[in-house]
């Protein structure tokens, strides 16, 4: 689906789910440097797929290849080394409430590297600046707005300079200006840090702004895939419904301020 090149993620005939499959026969590949949107209605299986792609939920069938290696067929150490080249911002931000922003974001560096403490502090400071949170190092997550917490989660997911980042609904529920800021941050991740991105989103504005391609999931599998323009022009009722329903809505409830 990417026309060749350096494939960072490939799923082949992948089935994911729990007692029963949620998505089946997923064939998907993402090339280095791409931003690919993963779309679909609530409950269609986007977060379940991400769990499998980041090593947390073994597939029911099929394979996941990360950087050309079969993730679930590797010994645990090798699998973890491969996963250390990825970063994930989960749908719920998963920041530790009793730790400052600085400590939350430093966590992967402290756990997985031997970078000296003063360098860790500097790296965290720079990453906070990149996501628009300069100067908030000493705040607790509870002292941040929803938009700021989302940015903090992106900072933590990116602190090890991953080659590939997964983001599950990075701008859901944010007002349009804040959501646009998150889009800008994701584009910076690619431009400045060279990160390839797989982004789950419902926000059409955001998808149009950041994504090169999109994959739409429905009815237990991939329903359509292509560029955003191709999908917008699709007459498939499911695809049409998704794009035109979202397009008619305001970008999201302005329930979470900066
Ligand atoms: N831990 C779990 N055990 C069993 N079933 C689950 C579990 N987590 C999710 N599911 C079910 O799997 C299906 C897909 O859920 P998932 O969270 O992947 O959807 P989603 O596309 O991310 O939805 P949303 O857009 O609302 O986040 C749903 O039917 C859900 O109820
Ligand atoms: Mg989800």
Please write the tens of the pLDDT for every residue from 188-212. Answer: 999 999 999 999 998 888 899 999 9
* pLDDT of 76: 94
Which residues in the chain come in under a pLDDT of 70? 1-5, 246-258
* pLDDT of 256: 42
Could you please report the per-residue DSSP string of 109-172? Answer: HHHH----HHHHHHHHHHHHHHTT-TT-TT--GGGS-HHHHHHHHHHHHHTT--SEEEEESTTT
The token pair that represents 45 in the structure block: 């299986």
Look at ligand 1, atom 17, and give the residue with the nearest C-alpha.
Answer: 47
**Alpha-carbon separation of residue 78 from 40, 115, 118, 119 (angstroms):** 32, 21, 29, 27
C-alpha 12 to ligand 1 mean position (Å): 21
Angle at 170 between CA 84 and CA 7, to 5 degrees: 45
The token pair that represents 85 in the structure block: 């080249």
Closest ligand 1 atom number to CA of residue 18 = 4
* pLDDT of 5: 65
**Alpha-carbon separation of residue 37 from 73, 130, 191, 227 (angstroms):** 27, 22, 17, 10
Please write the tens of the pLDDT for every residue from 22-47. Answer: 999 999 999 999 999 999 989 999 99
C-alpha 43 to ligand 1 mean position (Å): 5
> What is the SS3 assignment for 245?
helix
C-alpha 122 to ligand 2 mean position (Å): 33
Ligand nearest to the CA of 217: 1
Cβ of 20 below 6 Å from ligand 1: no
Q: Is the pTM of this model over 0.85?
A: yes
Return the bridge partners of 242, or none.
Answer: none
């Amino acid at each position: 689906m990417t026309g060749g090149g350096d494939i960072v993620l490939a799923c082949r005939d992948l089935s994911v789910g729990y007692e029963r499959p949620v998505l089946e026969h997923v064939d998907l590949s993402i090339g280095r440097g791409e931003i690919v949107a993963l779309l679909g209605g609530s409950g269609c299986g986007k977060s379940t797929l991400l769990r499998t792609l980041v090593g947390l939920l073994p597939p029911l069938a099929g394979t996941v290849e990360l950087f050309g290696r079969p993730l679930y067929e590797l010994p645990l150490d090798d699998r973890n080394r491969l996963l250390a080249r990825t970063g994930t911002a989960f749908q719920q931000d998963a920041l530790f409430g009793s730790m400052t922003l600085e400590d939350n974001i430093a966590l992967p560096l402290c756990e997985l590297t031997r970078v000296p403490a003063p360098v860790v502090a500097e790296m965290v400071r720079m990453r906070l600046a990149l996501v628009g949170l300069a100067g908030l190092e000493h705040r607790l997550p509870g002292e941040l707005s929803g938009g700021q917490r989302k940015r903090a989660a992106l900072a933590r997911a990116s602190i090890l300079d991953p080659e590939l980042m997964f983001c599950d609904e990075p701008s859901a529920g944010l007002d349009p200006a804040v959501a646009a800021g998150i889009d800008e941050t994701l584009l910076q991740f690619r431009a400045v840090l060279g990160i390839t991105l797989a982004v789950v989103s419902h926000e059409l504005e955001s998808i149009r702004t950041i994504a090169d391609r999109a994959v739409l999931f429905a009815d237990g599998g991939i329903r359509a895939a292509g560029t955003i323009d191709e999908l917008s022009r699709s007459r498939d009722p499911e695809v049409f419904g998704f794009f035109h329903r979202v397009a008619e809505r305001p970008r999201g409830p302005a329930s979470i301020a900066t």
